[in-house]
C-alpha cells in the first residue's frame, strides 16, 4: 500500500516524466559530446517501490556483474543517482571517452577515474537540469565507482528499512555503434518524495499559467 | 612570452579533454595541470599564470572557493569555472566572483568564447 501523500497524480507523474526526460536528454547530449556517437534513450520508467524491489528491477535484467557511478544529491529532495552498465562494457566506454588515443595499458590505468568523470558529467547534467526546472538548488557529492550485483549497487541504508518505499526512476541508454548500453537510475526517499510532489505542483502551475 | 594556462581538475580525463580543446584553439599557449585545489595553489605561488580553467566539483575545496582565492590575489586574471553542474545557482556564483561559466564536457566550441575573450583582455593589458 502506498500512502496517499506520496502517490503521484496523473498530471504530477506526467510532469515528472517530462522533467526527467529533459534532464536525461541533456545528459545524453553530454555523453554524445564525450564519445562522438549517437546515444539512444528509452522513455523513463517511474515507480514507487521498496528499496529491495528497486535493486531487483535492475538485477533481474542483468545476469553479469555491473559497474556503477553513484552520486548523492541533497536539497529540498534528496537521494542517489546512478549510471549503471554491465561490467563487460566498462573498458569500451573508457576507450570511447578517451577518443581511442590511449594504449590498452593506459585505458586500464585510467579506467576508474574515467568512469567517475563520465558519471560525474552525465549525472550532474541530468540532476542540474531537473533542479533548474523545479527552481530549486541541489548539492551533489563527489562520484564514486562501485562494482557488484544490483543488490550491492542499491545497497540499503542502515537508517532505512529494506522494505521502505522509494521513488525509483530508470532510463535505458544505448550507443549502438559501440555496443555500449546501460541505465541511468535515480532513487529518492520518502520524505523527499512529498517535497518533490509539491515542487511538481508548483511546476505544473507555472506551465499551465504560462507565466514565463 | 607565451600565455600560460592553469588547468585544475581532480579528473585526469577532464584535464586531457580541456588540454586538447586548448591546444586546438590556442596551439602556442602553454599549460600546467593541477589535480586538486591545494596543488593549484602551490603551483600558483611558484609560477606565473595568465588564466585559469577550474573544475567546480572537487573534494576538500571546490572550484568556486579556489577561484575566489585566485581572484583576491589576481583581480584581473580571466578565470573559467568548468562543470556539468549547470544549476542557475552555480552559474550565478561564478558570475559573482567574475568567472566565466563553461559547461562540461568541454568542447572547443564551448570554450572558444572564454579563450578569445581572455586573449583579447591579455593583449590589451600587456600593451
Residue A37 within a domain: yes
Q: Do A142 and B58 touch (CB under 8 A)?
A: yes
If you average pLDDT over each of A40-49, A54-63, B10-19, B93-102, which comes out highest? Answer: B93-102
Write out the residue range of the structural domain in which residue B120 sits: 4-126
Please give the C-alpha separations between residue A42 and each of A35, A139, A182, B62, in angstroms, as whole numbers: 19, 27, 11, 34
Average the pLDDT over B3-19 and give the result: 92
Closest-CA residue in chain B for A130? B87
Binned at pLDDT 50, 70 and 90, residue B11 comes out as confident
How does residue B71 score in pLDDT terms, banded at 50, 70 and 90? very high
The three cell numbers locating residue A17: 516524466
Closest Cα in chain B to A27? B84
The ipTM assigned to this model is 0.73
More confidently predicted of B67 and A63? B67
B88 in contact with A, Cβ within 8 Å:
yes
Average pLDDT of the residues in B48-76: 95
Q: Cβ–Cβ of B13/A118 closer than 8 Å?
A: yes
CATH at residue B26? 3.40.50.2300
pLDDT at B105: 86
Domain that holds residue A110: 8-209
Domain CATH for A60: 3.40.1550.10
Where b means 16+ CB within 10 Å and e means fewer, B52-89 reads: bbbbbbbeeebbbebbebbbeebeebbbbbbbbbbbee
A20: in domain? yes
Domain count, chain A: 1
Residues 6 or more apart in contact with residue A150 via CB below 8 angstroms: A55, A56, A57, A58, A59, A60, A62, A66
Nearest-angstrom CA–CA distance, A187 and A80: 5
- Say if A1 falls within a structural domain: no
Q: What is the pLDDT of residue A146?
A: 93
Residue A211 has a pLDDT of 54
Residue B119 has pLDDT above 60, yes or no: yes
- Give me A13's grid cell: 507523474
Q: One digit per residue, pLDDT tens: chain A, 212 residues?
A: 555 556 788 888 888 888 988 898 889 888 988 888 889 888 888 888 888 888 888 778 777 889 999 999 999 988 999 999 999 888 899 999 888 778 889 888 999 999 999 999 999 999 999 999 999 999 999 999 999 887 778 765 555 556 677 888 889 999 988 889 999 999 887 778 888 899 999 999 988 886 54
Residue A125: list chain B partners with CB under 8 A: 84-86, 103-104
Q: Does B23 touch chain A (CB under 8 A)?
A: no
Would residue A47 count as lying in a domain?
Answer: yes
Q: Residue A176's pLDDT is what?
A: 87
Assess if residue A17 is contained within a domain: yes
B59 touching chain A per CB within 8 A: yes
First to last CA, chain A: 38
Residue A116, domain member (yes or no): yes
Question: Number of folded domains in chain B?
Answer: 1
Of the partner residues B58, B87, B104, the one whose CB lies closest to the CB of residue A131: B87
Amino acid at each position: 500500500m502506498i500512502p496517499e501523500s506520496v502517490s503521484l497524480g496523473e498530471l504530477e507523474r506526467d510532469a515528472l516524466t517530462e522533467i526527467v526526460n529533459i534532464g536525461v536528454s541533456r545528459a545524453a547530449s553530454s555523453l554524445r559530446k564525450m564519445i562522438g556517437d549517437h546515444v539512444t534513450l528509452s522513455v523513463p520508467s517511474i515507480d514507487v517501490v521498496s528499496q529491495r524491489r528497486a535493486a531487483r528491477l535492475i538485477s533481474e535484467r542483468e545476469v553479469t556483474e555491473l559497474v556503477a557511478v553513484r552520486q548523492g544529491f541533497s536539497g529540498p529532495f534528496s537521494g542517489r543517482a546512478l549510471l549503471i552498465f554491465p561490467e563487460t562494457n566498462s573498458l569500451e566506454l573508457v576507450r570511447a571517452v578517451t577518443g581511442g588515443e590511449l594504449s590498452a595499458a593506459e585505458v586500464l590505468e585510467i579506467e576508474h577515474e574515467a568512469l567517475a568523470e563520465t558519471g560525474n558529467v552525465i549525472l550532474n547534467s541530468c540532476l542540474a537540469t531537473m533542479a533548474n526546472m523545479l527552481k530549486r538548488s541541489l548539492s551533489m557529492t563527489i562520484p564514486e565507482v562501485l562494482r557488484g550485483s544490483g543488490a550491492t549497487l542499491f545497497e540499503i541504508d542502515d537508517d532505512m528499512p529494506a522494505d521502505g518505499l522509494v521513488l525509483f526512476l530508470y532510463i535505458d541508454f544505448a550507443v549502438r555503434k559501440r555496443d555500449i548500453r546501460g541505465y541511468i537510475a535515480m532513487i529518492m526517499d520518502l520524505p523527499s518524495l512529498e517535497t518533490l510532489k509539491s515542487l511538481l505542483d508548483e511546476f505544473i502551475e507555472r506551465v499551465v499559467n504560462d507565466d514565463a | 612570452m607565451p600565455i600560460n594556462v592553469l588547468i585544475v581538475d581532480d579528473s585526469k580525463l577532464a584535464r586531457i579533454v580541456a588540454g586538447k580543446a586548448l591546444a586546438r584553439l590556442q596551439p602556442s599557449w602553454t599549460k600546467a595541470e593541477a589535480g586538486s585545489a591545494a596543488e593549484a595553489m602551490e603551483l600558483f605561488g611558484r609560477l606565473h599564470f595568465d588564466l585559469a580553467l577550474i573544475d567546480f566539483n572537487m573534494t576538500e575545496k571546490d572550484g568556486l572557493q579556489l577561484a575566489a582565492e585566485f581572484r583576491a590575489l589576481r583581480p584581473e586574471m580571466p578565470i573559467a569555472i568548468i562543470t556539468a553542474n549547470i544549476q542557475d545557482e552555480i552559474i550565478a556564483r561564478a558570475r559573482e566572483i567574475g568567472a566565466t561559466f563553461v559547461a562540461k564536457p568541454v568542447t572547443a566550441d564551448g570554450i572558444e568564447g572564454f579563450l578569445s575573450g581572455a586573449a583579447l583582455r591579455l593583449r590589451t593589458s600587456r600593451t
